[in-house]
């Protein structure tokens, strides 16, 4: 029986996913790692479709970390090639589905043509009012926090900001995700149980869901099951249940 998305009132406002396991998926099938990344892109496409069909408002996908540059040049090159294909081939579907696309991360290190594709995808979808789809691309949570701290420190040094007025809310406005609500649900595939430098500040109160499924096998049905698990969790944000309080 196919999984059914929870009622709209039970949906998380923002789901973030660490898409892990492409390499192990390929190794289990005696295929090159690139084959796993190709299968991973296909999974991205299906999950984005499932998110739009379910009526989800915000989805953030960890596509490429700032640490991924340390991988072998051939693998990095293959990943960049896949990003080019995705940005080129899926843009029209994003426009048709009303998806607004944003890319967060350090754009200075990527090739010029990829940066241009990113800018075109953002420009073409800026007026869309459906799913807000964010790709964390050349992204690192610690790097993001340091950049926000530098910006506030610079403003204080120049006399544009009183340091005593810095609050968590103000700090959050300097993060890449300032236009988005904090994630309610963070999913990591492949069985690993760590955040790997992803949305460190933003995930302070996120519900964490670690699943053993490798990313290419994370089907829309499994995604809807994750949304259903979230709907059944009790969120307290540091307080006590009403019955105890």
With a pLDDT cut of 70, the percent of the chain lying above it is 93
Provide the pLDDT for residue 8.
Answer: 77
Check which CATH number belongs to the domain holding 125 and give it: 3.40.1180.10
Is 136 part of any domain?
A: no
With a pLDDT cut of 90, the percent of the chain lying above it is 90
Provide the pLDDT for residue 31.
Answer: 97
Is 134 part of any domain?
A: no
Q: Is the pLDDT of residue 240 over 80?
A: no
The residues, any chain, with a CB within 8 Å of residue 57's CB and separated by 6 or more, are 11, 13, 14, 131, 132
For residue 46, give the H/E element and its range.
Answer: helix 33-54
Is 95 part of any domain?
A: yes
Q: Hey, is 62 helix, strand or coil?
A: strand
Provide the pLDDT for residue 233.
Answer: 82
Is 235 part of any domain?
A: no
Helix 73-89 and helix 33-54, axial crossing angle in degrees, nearest 10: 30
Is 243 part of any domain?
A: no
Is 142 part of any domain?
A: no
Determine the average pLDDT of the residues in 158-182: 97
The tokens 């640490």 sit on which residue? 67
Q: Is the pLDDT of residue 23 over 60?
A: yes
Instruction: Note if 20 is an active site residue.
Output: yes
Of the candidates 51, 41, 72, 40, the residue with the CA atom closest to the CA atom of residue 8: 51
CA distance to 47, 73, 83, 213, per residue, from 107 (Å): 25, 18, 14, 31
pLDDT band at 9 (very low <50, low <70, confident <90, very high): confident
Is 156 part of any domain?
A: yes
Give me the domain span that covers residue 77.
11-129+147-229
Provide the pLDDT for residue 38.
Answer: 96
Return d(Cα 142, Cα 198) in angstroms, integer: 8
Q: Is the pLDDT of residue 237 over 60?
A: no
Of the candidates 134, 196, 225, 188, the residue with the CA atom closest to the CA atom of residue 19: 188
Mean pLDDT, the chain, integer: 93
pLDDT band at 7 (very low <50, low <70, confident <90, very high): confident
Q: Is 233 left (phi over 0), alpha (psi -120 to 50) or beta?
A: beta
Catalytic residue among 20, 90, 138, 184: 20
Q: What are phi and psi of 134, to 5 degrees?
A: -115, 130
Q: What tens digit of pLDDT does each residue of 72-113 get?
A: 999 999 999 999 999 999 999 999 999 999 999 999 999 999
Provide the pLDDT for residue 243.
Answer: 53
Is 76 part of any domain?
A: yes
Number of domains the chain contains: 1
Determine the average pLDDT of the residues in 137-163: 97
Q: What tens digit of pLDDT does each residue of 115-146 get?
A: 999 999 999 999 999 999 999 999 999 999 99
Catalytic residue among 7, 53, 68, 184: 68
For residue 104, give the H/E element and its range.
Answer: strand 100-104
In terms of DSSP H, where are the helices of 110-179?
112-125, 141-157, 168-172
Q: Is the pLDDT of residue 244 over 60?
A: no
């Amino acid at each position: 029986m196919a999984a059914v998305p929870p009622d709209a009132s039970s949906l998380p406002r923002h789901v973030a996913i660490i898409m892990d396991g492409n390499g192990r998926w390929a190794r289990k099938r005696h295929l090159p790692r690139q084959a796993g990344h190709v299968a991973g892109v296909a999974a991205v496409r299906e999950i984005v479709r499932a998110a739009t069909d379910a009526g989800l408002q915000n989805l953030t996908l960890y596509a490429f970390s700032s640490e991924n540059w340390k991988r072998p040049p051939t693998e990095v090159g293959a990943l960049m090639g896949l990003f080019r294909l995705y940005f080129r081939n899926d843009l029209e579907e994003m426009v048709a589905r009303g998806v607004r696309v944003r890319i967060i991360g350090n754009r200075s290190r990527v090739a010029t043509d990829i940066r241009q594709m990113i800018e075109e995808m953002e420009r073409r979808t800026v007026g869309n009012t459906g799913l807000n789809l964010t790709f964390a691309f050349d992204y690192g949570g610690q790097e993001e926090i340091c950049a926000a701290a530098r910006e506030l420190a610079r403003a204080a040094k120049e006399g544009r900001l009183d340091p005593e007025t810095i609050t968590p809310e103000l700090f959050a406005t300097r993060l890449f995700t300032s236009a988005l609500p904090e994630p309610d649900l963070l999913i990591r595939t492949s069985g690993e149980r760590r955040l790997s430098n992803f949305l460190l500040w933003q995930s302070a109160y996120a519900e964490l869901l670690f699943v053993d499924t490798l990313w290419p096998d994370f089907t829309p049905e499994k995604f809807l099951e994750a949304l259903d698990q979230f709907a059944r969790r009790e969120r307290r944000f540091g307080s006590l249940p009403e019955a105890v309080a």
